[in-house]
Structure 1
Amino acid sequence: MKKILIVEDDKSNLDVLTLIFENESHLVKGLSSGKDFLKNVLRFKPDIIFADIMLGDYNGMQLCNSLKSNSQTKSIPYYFMSVGKFEEVSKSFGAAGYISKPYELSDILAVI
């Protein structure tokens, strides 16, 4: 069982991802804002993070920078999620990878 943190401001996407991971017996914490991410990442101590690139208050690059600049969190695999092609962007920010929307179940499960 892995502890998975999801940051997604679209409630329906957050609900779908949460259900997918919970059905695979993982512990999931879903957040809808970057501010909530910054408050909870150290408390929850996730094994892996999935974060939307475009959030209302932050963007995924800011969150990834915050994560990678902290010695307590820099080794946590971080995956960007968005519509479009952001593979190169995700690599340049030190992310472990990128998941394209709409989500393919096989792509999501392959990551964990």
Structure 2
Amino acid sequence: MSKNDEKKEKTGLIQLETLKDFVHLIVHTPFQIVNHIDLANKHYYFIVIGGLPGFSRLIYFYSQDTEIKENFIIYNNLQDTINFGDKLETRGGITYLPIIHIKKQNIIKPEEFTF
């Protein structure tokens, strides 16, 4: 293996089965922000976490055909339910996860989202 191959960044992808799985993961991370990008007419919601041995970064993601139009994923910790909204409110037992819509980026290539 050449030194160039060793330095090449490798991305590990972990696709989650449901939006609820994705939300459960996010509410237990220190950075509770959801990234969103439209790649090849599919909507990807993801977080990037530092890597593990062999990977420079890990991307946990959930994808769907339709875009979440609201600005927040609202998770009710007590009832384990998910809603969407545009306003941030202060209520006990509720976690607001902002969705950050990415216009352009050069980190993730559409072909990387394959297994």
Q: Same fold (TM over 0.5)?
A: no
Say which one has the larger Rg: 2
In terms of fraction of residues, the more strand-rich structure is: 2
